[in-house]
Structure 1
Amino acid sequence: MVPKVVFGEGCFDQLSTILTSQKQEKAPFIYLVDDTFKNNTQFLDRINLRFNDKLLFVSADEEPKTRQVDEMVKNIKTEFTYLPSGIIGIGGGTVMDLAKAVAIMLNNKGSAADYQGWDLVKKKAVYHVGIPTISGTGAEVSRTTVLTGPVRKLGINSDFTPFDQVVLDPQLTKGVPKNQWFFTGMDCFIHCVESLNGTFLNAFSQSYGEKAYELCLEIFLGDSLSEEESRAKLMMASWHGGMSIAYSQVGVAHAMSYGLGYVLGTKHGVGNCIVFQHLKEFYPKDVALFEQMVAKHNIQIPQGICKDLTSDQMDTMITVALGMVPLWENALGTNWQEVITPEKLKALYLKM
């Protein structure tokens, strides 16, 4: 679990105080910041760079990749004599995952691709802080960092992955474009659905999942919240949803979305929505609620993205999805292969 968290409007300004106790002599803090803030001088002025601290802008246009992590780690080690005092990620899920992965790989040998899987990391990560500027992915609280590697899209899942400190400031999510707000928020909703309907469900994950699910219904189907209340509650839904899957697992939508992401580069939240609309067989009640949310907010979900796939692309997509064994076991139990076959997945993908 994340050991330290602060929450509240404006709490981002506590960052300098938080980092003071972690500063090591001559060792910089490295800030990975979503490049949407590149020209936002008012925001950047609130980041108090000191001495040899470095700010790196990161594009979130594509899903994070293992080679991207490797390149960042190489550049940091080349530029600085000392390991950083810490890595601070400021942005959405892409930046959160990159910050976690870079912090891990600064203290572990090899490529980030070597650690895609469960509990493969041997050494503690460099101190790292997560500051989300959009809510829904749960990346700020989860024990995974999802990366696209040379042969698969899979997280570095380990006890060393979670942030040492998280700063939850709802003010930072102000102005997020509507579509991005929706697709990322639906990532949270689908986390809850897959956790609460999974075979791995336990009292711990259920308590977090139920609260996040309740908040999602209030945010996306209710009419009584102010914008300020909605931002704060979605940030809490993201946190609780992330905690729920940290102690259980996700399911069918995420497994299939990983296939879309690996082959087509589909953004994670969008991919989840593309898949989820076709999963009435598995989550009938919640797909109906999802359809209500889509209609209420007038969201257009991409259609026909798989219609021109080559046979090789389709085979790769199916292989990636089938490789997500813990997700299928959570969704359908240990006999999941009796239900989910390559033919079954192909039929579902062809609907998308």
Structure 2
Amino acid sequence: MAAEGEVYRLAFPPKTKPHISTGIAFPAATAYHVANTFHASKVYVIVSSSISKTDNFTVLQKALGDKIVGVRKGIKPHTPWDDVLDIIKDLKEKQADLIVTLGAGSLTDGAKVISFALANNATREDDLERLTAVAKTPDLKPCETPVINIPTSLSGGEFSPFAGATDKRTNHKKSFAHPSMGADLIILDPALSISTPARIWLSTGIRAVDHCVEGLCSTHPKASAETDRGFAAGLKLLVPNLLITKENWDDEEARLNEFLGVVEAMGAIGHGVPMGGSHGIGHQLGPLGVGHGETSCIMLPAILKYNYKYGDERVKQNQRKVLDILWAEPAVEKVLTARGLSKETADGGDVLDAVITELGMPRSLKDVGVGRDALDALAENCLKDRCLPTNPVPLTEKKQVLEVLEMVVGDDKGSS
């Protein structure tokens, strides 16, 4: 049931979760649903370190009052297992009956893994290993502790039943997957997102674009006309509005459209369309200190160029779908034309490079502090990622990954 003035709906009917809340401020929406939807009395809040120092966190605390039994300020980037285990211990001690996250990225993934671990009594690293997707442990129990996500970025992880968390013993980011994982309620408040640093907001917007582009370009059997419609709708909402936001930071309508573009993209992914090389390599760049969105800013144009170079006619035709969508958007066409591109000659990599550059985002590994000396180990870790075999040109050999990385290394010996 919705609060007064709120739009409250299922994200992906007929699936019974998550619900989405828009239209009212996040503190009021959170307090209403804690009391009336989840009937919770012991709320555990996981808030980003930066937001914990702001009025946004203060007003949330006031709205929830004495229902808050615990607060965790920050989870390190890419969700290290030791952070996850610390929070699990604290949650169990405080007997929390609901988790609220205020922030994005690592907090979102952390809450999913934490709820799954709680249901399966995982309290040690070996227990988490048993829960990873590759372990294929039978008869795992579904999540029981409900989760409310209040995202401050466009990464979209709150909409998926997957999570990544980093085993610091090996520096390998491992996947967790279960149908029950993910938020029960996602509160989208564009006014809140104005306080998100520009580099995070815009780069995670490109992460959402990456979902759409790799979805439209997928050659997997689960890619269909229906998923194409979702990815196309997301792309149309995301790219023009990201360009608007870059020029008018306080435009809440553009920000809400970006949030809704994420919903469209994640709904299409929910049909089982796997991502490709940009996501797969990006997953393993994370433990090297590269932000979720920045990995897409760097890798997506390179993967498009690699796939176009080595792909068959179907691969090239799928990329043309992306080009047709973007060139048809006046705000995007204006940027592409100003950067000297033409519809007749520009490929997908050229177009995404122009958009990402226009947004002022990093375009090489050098830009994010990853040097050539890291490439060999990075390529080895990438080959373990689930998304490389589902790239339109399957990435199954180390030399292939290194060729892609060479395109973005950004030093004097490579090309950015």
Please report the TM-score for the alignment, with normalisation by the length of structure 1.
0.86
2:22 corresponds in structure 1 to 7
Q: 8 Å contact 2:47–2:102 — kept in the other structure?
A: yes
1:321 corresponds in structure 2 to 382
Q: How many residues align?
A: 337
Take 1:13 and 1:49, find their aligned partners in 2: how far apart are those partners? Answer: 9
Q: Deviations over 1:48-87 (max 9, x none)?
A: 334452342433552212221112101222x32x3x2111
CA distance 1:298–1:163, shift in 2 (3 Å): closer
Take 2:175 and 2:149, find their aligned partners in 1: how far apart are those partners? Answer: 17
Take 2:278 and 2:19, find their aligned partners in 1: how far apart are those partners? Answer: 31
List alignment gaps of at least 5 residues for structure 2.
Answer: 1-14, 309-318, 320-346, 410-416
CA distance 1:38–1:222, shift in 2 (3 Å): closer
List alignment gaps of at least 5 residues for structure 1.
Answer: none
Structure 1 position 185, deviation (Å): 0.6
Structure 1 position 144, deviation (Å): 1.0
Take 2:197 and 2:56, find their aligned partners in 1: how far apart are those partners? Answer: 19
Q: 8 Å contact 1:199–1:329 — kept in the other structure?
A: no
Structure 1 position 319, deviation (Å): 2.5
Residue 205 (structure 1) aligned with residue 227 (structure 2): yes
Of 263, 273, 294, the residue aligned with 2:356 is 294
Q: 8 Å contact 1:58–1:95 — kept in the other structure?
A: no
1:30 corresponds in structure 2 to 44
Take 1:145 and 1:321, find their aligned partners in 2: how far apart are those partners? Answer: 17
CA distance 1:303–1:246, shift in 2 (3 Å): same
Structure 1 position 222, deviation (Å): 5.8
CA distance 1:29–1:11, shift in 2 (3 Å): closer
| TM alignment of 1:81-100, pairs within 5 A | 82=95, 84-100=96-112
Take 1:168 and 1:281, find their aligned partners in 2: how far apart are those partners? Answer: 36
2:403 corresponds in structure 1 to 347
2:130 corresponds in structure 1 to 114
Q: 8 Å contact 1:132–1:167 — kept in the other structure?
A: yes
Structure 1 position 211, deviation (Å): 0.7
Residue 56 (structure 1) aligned with residue 71 (structure 2): yes
The one-letter amino acid of 1:46's match is L
Q: Deviations over 1:115-167 (max 9, x none)?
A: 22167571121111111122x21112111121112442132111011211111
Q: 8 Å contact 2:242–2:258 — kept in the other structure?
A: no
Q: 8 Å contact 1:140–1:166 — kept in the other structure?
A: yes
Q: Deviations over 1:178-204 (max 9, x none)?
A: 221221110001111101111231244
Take 2:182 and 2:293, find their aligned partners in 1: how far apart are those partners? Answer: 21
Take 2:166 and 2:399, find their aligned partners in 1: how far apart are those partners? Answer: 24
Of 275, 297, 302, the residue aligned with 1:250 is 275
2:81 corresponds in structure 1 to 66
CA distance 1:314–1:239, shift in 2 (3 Å): same
Take 2:205 and 2:185, find their aligned partners in 1: how far apart are those partners? Answer: 22
The one-letter amino acid of 1:40's match is T
Residue 182 (structure 1) aligned with residue 202 (structure 2): yes
- SS at 2:158's partner residue? coil
Taking only aligned residues, the RMSD between alpha carbons, in angstroms, comes to 2.6
Q: Deviations over 1:199-248 (max 9, x none)?
A: 23124432221111111232234699871111111111122222222321
The one-letter amino acid of 2:140's match is K
Structure 1 position 315, deviation (Å): 4.1
Take 2:184 and 2:365, find their aligned partners in 1: how far apart are those partners? Answer: 40
Work out the percentage of aligned pairs sharing the same amino acid: 18
1:266 corresponds in structure 2 to 290
Take 2:402 and 2:34, find their aligned partners in 1: how far apart are those partners? Answer: 49
Larger Cα-atom Rg: 2
1:132 corresponds in structure 2 to 151
Structure 1 position 12, deviation (Å): 4.1
Take 2:105 and 2:267, find their aligned partners in 1: how far apart are those partners? Answer: 15
Please report the TM-score for the alignment, with normalisation by the length of structure 2.
0.74
Q: 8 Å contact 1:137–1:242 — kept in the other structure?
A: no
1:233 corresponds in structure 2 to 257
2:414 corresponds in structure 1 to none
- SS at 1:266's partner residue? coil
Take 1:123 and 1:298, find their aligned partners in 2: how far apart are those partners? Answer: 44
Q: 8 Å contact 1:107–1:124 — kept in the other structure?
A: yes
The one-letter amino acid of 2:110's match is L
Take 2:275 and 2:73, find their aligned partners in 1: how far apart are those partners? Answer: 27
The one-letter amino acid of 1:261's match is G
- SS at 2:299's partner residue? helix
The one-letter amino acid of 2:400's match is K
CA distance 1:205–1:330, shift in 2 (3 Å): farther
Residue 165 (structure 1) aligned with residue 180 (structure 2): no
